[in-house]
Structure 1
């Protein structure tokens, strides 16, 4: 699937191949891909909205929202957002269920001292933010997703993996080995609130990015702040709130269980592309296709 916005208008929405290869069900504009790490962008938008409302303070210790989360090494919400917490790499205990089970796994694995306050990309950070959001709002992550993202951006084909009414649109992911397509069953999605268990269409992804960049998801000052490539005092790297902001474009990316979704945006274009057939070994084909479209066809720069 590919969706293109130009000057805030939808100009292309095309689909190819199959969302269910075994049953011969073709992709269409409603096809929803497991978003993987691009979920963090959605979580980041939710976090920023709650900051604006004064419900969450970025400089608060996580223990304020999750009692006794980490007592030896202080961790702030900002540390989580910037992947600077030092939390051990995500290795969730299979028989611990749901978001609460994920948090218990993360607490038990603790902090890696030589990673503390150093950039270390880690799903555990945004899973923890999901629990902070739940406890701060006294609503489930899914309720917050529906209220702060789906309804606000008027999305139709975006949902947590448990949504029964959307299940028929959710694509199957396949490994491609010597022209054989091997279905990959997602596992442990119950533990990935905040970091990867949402399904979304490329139309909705591009629409959400457009709403964000045009100031409809956050205040104008927050939007400008997040889109700024500079100000190292706030953001020590290009990463912030679940996406990357570079000199002249933004990047939103997720790959999970053979679902690969990648989007680029700048002041003129938003391009979102997704695939559910990934080669083994994986060669970043989806993003290579997007780069070709963005640079060679649309004549845009990536710096």
Structure 2
């Protein structure tokens, strides 16, 4: 009985410390008004360690954020696209060793024969991002297919495929096209039928202009030195309309179903999942990309991997799109999932993540 009480008390202490952390994080701007915030959900297996939401999803309506509020999870979407490719690979419908000339004969440069699907998934293709950012209308409305048109005339690589890391969104838009070509379905049809539905994510959707998403949060940024908030999502943020690299809208409760599907190997075999969650491209000290260029960090197939001394392996992804700031971290060996979905991007993510990890470690949950 005593050990049960001690365990309960330890969990309570963790919850209190986490609540203090997030209460302080979302109360930096104190003016007596509703402000954007976030939804936090931390699980160990199927047990909720901590769940609480802060702030409002929509400044116009004042609707409060909760575990069923839908956020644009931005680049956290990449792991879902990667999963579709891995699924098709395991079914023998494509190979990670297939090169781009097989799927895009219209791409003229010979180097596309050296770029394989595995390079797209691991940000090691060497392809540059040459989308025309000076065209304001294009960047606000461009679809996945429109975003890869420039590859037809591309005449150089930044580095030889497989030799370095450079985080790129258009490589996942190439995956969008490959999934459609191989499956014979639209990207959204495939993802719903083969990824979302088997995972039990029945409400998760991709953004599309004009699509009504119930319980949707709006993203916000600060102006006037933090004194006011400005809505910043579709119509304000570049490349918000693409799907494969960052288009998913989901909630923390829905995402927890994804975690269970991964844990139970619902979508692919455990052996292939372990490959996807293994270091493939070294991120630390890359000379080509600053995104997530952090110590002890690599990229697998759709996930970052952190192997910090004294800590269990972390498999994670972050997302930044307009006013949305998203963190989804997993400690697979400990069956721990940490979700922080925010509709504001005015504060450091990494100081928060490090504090969460410290709280969990000090409680013996990561030991």
Change (3 A) 1:151 1:162: same
SS in 2 for 1:175: strand
Q: Distance in 2 between matches of 1:143 and 1:278?
A: 31
Q: Distance in 2 between matches of 1:7 and 1:161?
A: 30
Match of 2:222 among 153, 158, 176: 176
2:75 paired residue number: 37
1:150-229 aligned within 5 A: 150-162=196-208, 167-177=213-223, 178-187=226-235, 192-229=242-279
Q: Distance in 2 between matches of 1:176 and 1:102?
A: 29
Change (3 A) 1:104 1:170: same
* Structure number with larger C-alpha Rg: 2
Q: Is the 8 A contact 2:277 2:301 kept in 1?
A: no
Change (3 A) 1:66 1:198: same
Match of 1:107 among 123, 127, 152: 152
SS in 2 for 1:78: helix
Cα distance per residue 1:126-180 (max 9 Å; x no partner):
1111111111111111111101221010014411013977613221111123231
SS in 2 for 1:114: coil
Q: Distance in 2 between matches of 1:89 and 1:241?
A: 19
Match of 2:343 among 260, 270, 276: 276
Q: Distance in 2 between matches of 1:128 and 1:145?
A: 15
Q: State the TM-score, normalized to the length of structure 2.
A: 0.73
1:84 paired residue number: 124
2:186 paired residue number: 140
Cα distance per residue 1:93-150 (max 9 Å; x no partner):
6448533212213434x25433332321110111111111111111111111101221
Q: Distance in 2 between matches of 1:112 and 1:119?
A: 16
TM-superposed CA distance for 1:298, in Å, is 5.0
Q: Is the 8 A contact 2:121 2:302 kept in 1?
A: yes
Q: Distance in 1 between matches of 2:301 and 2:94?
A: 14
Q: Distance in 1 between matches of 2:174 and 2:52?
A: 36
Change (3 A) 1:111 1:81: farther
Q: Is the 8 A contact 2:148 2:173 kept in 1?
A: yes
Q: Is the 8 A contact 1:88 1:111 kept in 2?
A: no
1:6 paired residue number: 44
Whether 1:50 aligns to 2:98 is no
Q: State the TM-score, normalized to the length of structure 1.
A: 0.87
Change (3 A) 1:223 1:79: closer
Match of 1:125 among 142, 148, 171: 171
Cα distance per residue 1:209-241 (max 9 Å; x no partner):
332133222112112323345xxxxx2432012
Q: Is the 8 A contact 1:210 1:270 kept in 2?
A: no
Match of 1:258 among 314, 323, 331: 323
Q: Is the 8 A contact 1:185 1:257 kept in 2?
A: yes
RMSD of aligned Cα (Å): 2.6
TM-superposed CA distance for 1:201, in Å, is 1.0
Query: Which structure 1 segments of 5+ residues have no match?
Result: 230-234
Q: Is the 8 A contact 1:5 1:271 kept in 2?
A: yes
SS in 2 for 1:211: helix
TM-superposed CA distance for 1:51, in Å, is 0.5
